[in-house]
């Protein structure tokens, strides 16, 4: 792939561009080989960047906070686009709405909602990552999912045009949202409810404390590794299959929550994938259930 024209474009548009960037620097697992190139555009340069990548035949993927992904040890072909510079928030307290760009931190939004007495997001307390990733993966916890507060989303289409979808036009599933193929989530409008800031913060703190007591939130992980089954949590299946504490290399099944795999030191993606296979086989052998990955696995 020829990156010269891309380099010229990025210099002209003042886009941060890095070659052979270790993805381990950008994932919550601290794992991942080098991407050919990583890019940090803002909202104004993103449409032309996509056109340039497409014209030059450079494959690309979009990543938010890097919190629910496993990047393989050989890295990623083509370009990785990070949305971190797209982090503007517009709050309309009278209409009880909040417009957040895709790169906004979920926790930053929750804190802003608490400050202004807007309820609806506190059930997502402690979930790392960004709005774009949360919408794409229909992030949720404590019986709350982000689809519960979505009013609309804005998308960048593959041809460079923009499209707005209302909540009723989006089919949400378990840890996924069906959006047009090849589109990129630019922003989301959230519909919230008025409540006392003290009451919202009280619920938020209760959720955070419960999460800290049940999940290894301070350890490098990618969140839940496998999807829950309809009537039983994947963590319970893994625990009951005797997998807690199992490890391959420096990757370990958490003793606190069996659906979290922790990088205890210099873990690799190969170690992680091997442990996934071992755990999946043990669960299938014991319960006849095939676990599906919840994390996004990327790379060559």
73 and 100 housed in the same domain: no
Taking residue 201's Cβ as centre, other Cβ atoms within 10 Å add up to 17
Decide: 129 and 157 in contact? Cβ < 8 Å: no
pLDDT of residue 141: 84
Distance CA 78, CA 62 (A): 11
281: CB partners within 8 A, 6+ apart: none
CA 263 to chain centre: 18
CATH number for the domain including 271? Answer: 3.90.78.10
Question: Cα-Cα-Cα-Cα dihedral of 211, 72, 82, 150, to 10°?
Answer: -40
Q: Which residue, 180, 214, 248, sits at the end of a domain? A: 214
The predicted model scores a pTM of 0.89
Q: Are residues 12 and 49 in the same domain?
A: yes
Q: What is the pLDDT of residue 143?
A: 82
pLDDT per residue rounded down to tens, the chain (300 residues) = 779 999 999 999 999 999 999 999 999 999 999 999 999 999 999 999 999 999 899 999 999 888 899 999 999 999 999 999 999 999 988 889 999 999 999 999 999 999 999 999 998 988 888 999 999 989 888 888 999 999 999 999 988 889 999 999 999 988 889 988 889 999 999 999 999 999 999 999 999 999 999 999 889 999 999 999 888 999 999 999 999 999 999 999 999 999 999 999 999 999 999 999 999 999 999 999 999 999 999 998
Q: What is the DSSP letter of 292?
A: -
Tell me phi and psi for residue 96, to 5 degrees: 60, 40
Task: List, for residues 40-68, the tens digit of each pLDDT value.
Answer: 999 999 999 999 999 899 999 999 888 89
60-63 and 76-82 beta bridge pairing? parallel
203 in the same domain as 142: yes
The percent of the chain in helix, strand and coil, each rounded to the nearest 5, is 30, 30, 40
Domain membership flag for residue 292: yes
Assess whether 209 and 256 both reside in one domain. Answer: no
At 85 the pLDDT is 92
| Secondary structure (3-state) at 172 | strand
Nearest to 49 by CA among 79, 26, 76, 84: 79
**CA distance linking residue 5 with residue 56, whole number of Å:** 8
Residues 77, 94 share a domain: no
Q: What is the pLDDT of residue 116?
A: 93
Distance, in Å, from the CA atom of 271 to the CA atom of 281, rounded to the nearest integer, reads: 15
In a domain, 219, yes or no: no
Number of Cβ atoms within 10 Å of the Cβ of 164: 12
Domain that residue 49 falls in: 4-82
Query: How many C-alpha atoms does 230 have within 13 Å on its Cβ side?
Result: 0
pLDDT at 1: 73
């Amino acid at each position: 792939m020829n990156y010269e024209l891309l380099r010229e474009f990025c210099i002209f548009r003042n886009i941060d561009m890095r070659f052979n960037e270790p993805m381990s620097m950008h994932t919550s697992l601290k794992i991942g080989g080098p991407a050919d190139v990583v890019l940090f555009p803002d909202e104004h340069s993103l449409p032309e960047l996509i056109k340039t990548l497409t014209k030059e035949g450079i494959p690309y993927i979009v990543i938010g906070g890097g919190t629910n992904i496993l990047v393989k040890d050989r890295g990623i072909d083509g370009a990785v686009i990070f949305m971190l510079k797209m982090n503007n928030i517009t709050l309309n307290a009278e209409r009880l709405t909040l417009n957040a760009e895709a790169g906004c931190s979920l926790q930053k939004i929750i804190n802003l909602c608490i400050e202004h007495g807007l309820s609806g997001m506190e059930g997502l307390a402690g979930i790392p990552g960004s709005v774009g990733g949360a919408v794409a993966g229909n992030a949720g916890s404590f019986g709350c999912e982000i689809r519960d507060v979505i009013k609309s989303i804005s998308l960048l289409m593959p041809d460079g045009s923009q499209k707005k979808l209302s909540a009723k036009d989006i089919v949400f599933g378990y840890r996924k949202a069906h959006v047009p193929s090849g589109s990129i989530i630019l922003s989301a409008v959230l519909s919230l409810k008025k409540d006392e800031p003290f009451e919202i913060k009280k619920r938020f703190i209760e959720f955070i404390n419960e999460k800290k007591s049940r999940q290894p939130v301070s350890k490098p992980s990618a969140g839940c590794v496998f999807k829950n089954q309809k009537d039983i949590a994947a963590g319970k299946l893994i625990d009951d299959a005797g997998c807690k504490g199992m490890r391959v290399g420096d990757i370990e099944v958490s003793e606190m929550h069996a659906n979290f795999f922790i990088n205890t030191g210099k873990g690799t993606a190969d170690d992680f994938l091997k442990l996934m296979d071992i755990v999946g086989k043990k669960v299938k052998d014991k319960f006849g259930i095939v676990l599906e990955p919840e994390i996004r696995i990327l790379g060559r």
